[in-house]
Structure 1
Amino acid sequence: MRDPHQDGSWGFCPLYAATGLYCPGCGGLRAVNDLTHGDLAGALSSNLLVVLAVPIVVWLWVRWFRRAWQTPQPPGPQPRARTRELVGIDVRLLAGTVLVVATVAFTLLRNTTFGAWLAP
């Protein structure tokens, strides 16, 4: 079994190899490995963004799984899904925008001296 904490054991990040900059996924494998071994502090130091994303991804997966196993819809045209709005803003658009902005901010911050603690 390979240990993702050893340099080069699972390859390398092409962005880091080419530019010396950390991408938002750098340290993600180490973070997941630390989480599966119960080391939350190690996971947080490897990749904070991945650790924050895991509960959201699990929640979305459970939600999808529950909907997939519900009573099947009758054949024919389906009613159009309602757009969920929050104060006139589409929630899906807002969530996507927040995700992109947070990922870009995380990437920029972890490559500065001020945010060096976010680097893997």
Structure 2
Amino acid sequence: MTLPVTPPAASRGRLVRAPLIAAAAGVGALALLHLRDPHVEGAYGFCPFLVLTGQPCPGCGGLRAMNLLTRGDVAGAVSSNLFAVSLVLVASVAWLVWFLRRARAIPAPYLTWSARTVTFAALAVVAFGIVRLTPWGAWLAP
């Protein structure tokens, strides 16, 4: 008769590795957006949405918003893309929860995503993209 073998517990360093790598990637992306200004036309190539529709896309507004956030201009960032600024706040809190769980040696996944959560998030992105192109949502567009 053999006894079941339990796997060894992961060290805290190993547990916090993924949150720290994610943070480094986020800081790297923000550094790129700080150094290469998306307000300059053509800085990141062309926007297919803008070319096809003549309307500024939420993604371009998100790039401009992150650039302005890295420069400390919160009001300008909110006026460029309120949704992106809100998303940064939500992502920061989610990252902090993930990091703290891992630092306390709780091998929890990043977040558990239900189908309802994913559907709600997708609908929120689509709704923002549509509403900002309407007369009553024009204040959401840059």
TM-score > 0.5 by shorter chain: yes
Aligned residues: 105
| Paired amino acid for 2:135 | T
Other-structure match for 1:67: 101
SS in 2 for 1:55: helix
Q: Equivalences for 1:3-22 in 2 at 5 Å?
A: 3-22=37-56
SS in 2 for 1:9: coil
User: Is residue 2:133 matched to residue 1:99?
Assistant: no
Shifted more, 36-45 versus 13-22: the winner is 13-22
Q: Equivalences for 1:1-120 in 2 at 5 Å?
A: 1-71=35-105, 92-120=114-142
Q: Matches of 2:135 and 2:90 in 1, distance apart?
A: 29
TM-score, length-normalised on structure 1? 0.71
Shifted more, 94-103 versus 42-51: the winner is 94-103
5+ residue gaps, structure 2: 1-34
5+ residue gaps, structure 1: 74-83, 85-90
Deviation per CA, 1:42-77: give whole Å up to 9, x if none: 10111110011111101111111222333366xxxx
Structure with the higher fraction of residues in helix conformation: 2
Deviation per CA, 1:75-105: give whole Å up to 9, x if none: xxxxxxxxx9xxxxxx844433332222111
Q: Share of identical aligned residues, percent?
A: 49
TM-score, length-normalised on structure 2? 0.62
RMSD of the alignment, in Å? 2.5
